[in-house]
Amino acid sequence: MIEQKDLESLMPHKGRMLLLTRVLGYSLEERTLTGEYHITDNCLFYDPEMGGVPAWAGFEFLAQAIAALSGIYSKKKGEAPKIGFILSISSVQMHVPFYPSGCIIELKVKEINSLDQVSNFEGEIFLEGKKVMEGNLMVIDANEEQINSLEKERKKIG
Q: What is the CATH number of the domain that holds 10?
A: 3.10.129.10
Under DSSP, the state recorded for 49 is: T
Average pLDDT value for the chain: 93
The proportion of the chain whose per-residue pLDDT surpasses 70, expressed as a percent, equals: 99
Please give the full DSSP string across 83-113, using - where no structure is assigned.
Answer: EEEEEEEEEEEE-SSEEETT-EEEEEEEEEE
pLDDT in tens, 122-137: 999 999 999 999 999 9
Amino acid type, 43? C
- Are 16 and 43 contacting, i.e. CB atoms less than 8 angstroms apart? yes
Q: Domain of residue 128: give its range.
A: 2-157
Can you give the pLDDT at residue 112? 97
Can you give the pLDDT at residue 91? 95
pLDDT in tens, 13-71: 888 889 999 999 999 999 999 999 999 999 999 999 999 999 999 999 999 999 999 99
CA dihedral for 33, 38, 43, 49, sign (positive or negative): positive
Q: For the whole prediction, is pTM greater than 0.85?
A: yes
Helix (H) or strand (E) holding 65: helix 58-76
- Hey, which bits of the chain come out as E strands? 2-3, 22-27, 32-38, 52-54, 83-94, 98-100, 104-115, 118-127, 130-142
Number of domains in the chain: 1
Residues near 16 by Cβ (< 8 Å), separated by ≥ 6?
Answer: 42, 43, 44
Per-residue pLDDT for 96 more than 90? yes
